[in-house]
Structure 1
């Protein structure tokens, strides 16, 4: 098995931490197959962690959405000031000069970054929701096995 890269929730750093499922499942013995599956305690712990992270998602999405709105407002103001400072002779020249202003470029890049961060947060929430469904199914199967 090889390392997969993930992101540390605490630091935001990329770390090699997870194991990938091997492609040669038919060649593995029973012990190797069983070692790939979580124990009931691990599955329950993962479900609790995923639920906690999903509970934090609305606040994170709201914060990132607000940051995007603020960045768009800053871009609008930067364009207005750049338009006021533009000295071109025609409207097209002034528009080109305005869009080439360093404050407009910086504000535009910040808008792009905020949009990417918001989209990333949405994808993480979607992924966690799918993980919770899988973990619920695993936990239900573990409970049924222990009842028998």
Structure 2
């Protein structure tokens, strides 16, 4: 996706797929499909810069999960104080359906999903870095 800063226009870019008929392509077309050594090195530098931010992002998202769980405990406490009923079980059931408690549960879900996404992104970046390191090593060998 490309965003034009002056007009605010958003342009969607499609994903280019590798053709299945590789044997029918000429050598120049095949070479155009592969990244240059400079592109590989640049991608590796960018991936390393992103992975360096991962510990701070994961710590921040972990803290968000803990904070959301703490908010749930507080919301439950207030909801139980406000709940009226004949016995403790009825008050507990009423408190669990309180709007603040349901909102707190939603915050926990969102925070946990964000944390899981960050973990998956770190894993993907790690795999990408390994691939890019391999490509860069192959390019160095070819250009000696």
CA distance in 1, matches of 2:67, 2:117: 18
Offset at residue 116 of structure 1 (A):
0.1
How many equivalent pairs are there?
136
In structure 1, the residue matched to 2:64 is 67
Q: Please state if 1:146 is matched with 2:139.
A: no
CA distance in 2, matches of 1:98, 1:91: 10
Offset at residue 47 of structure 1 (A):
0.1
TM-score by length of 2: 0.87
Structure 1 unpaired stretches of 5+? 1-5
What is the root-mean-square deviation of aligned Cα atoms in Å? 1.9
CA distance in 2, matches of 1:18, 1:47: 21
Offset at residue 125 of structure 1 (A):
0.3
In structure 1, the residue matched to 2:42 is 45
Indicate the SS of the match to 1:16.
Answer: coil
More strand by share: 1
Q: 2:26 aligns with which of 17, 26, 29?
A: 29
In structure 1, the residue matched to 2:130 is 133
Q: Deviations over 1:94-114 (max 9, x none)?
A: 122111100000010000000
Structure 2 unpaired stretches of 5+? 4-9
Q: 1:116 aligns with which of 113, 125, 134?
A: 113
- Cα distance 1:42–1:20, how it changes in 2: closer, same or farther (>3 A)? same
CA distance in 2, matches of 1:128, 1:30: 31
TM-score by length of 1: 0.84
Greater than 4 Å deviation, 4+ residue runs: none
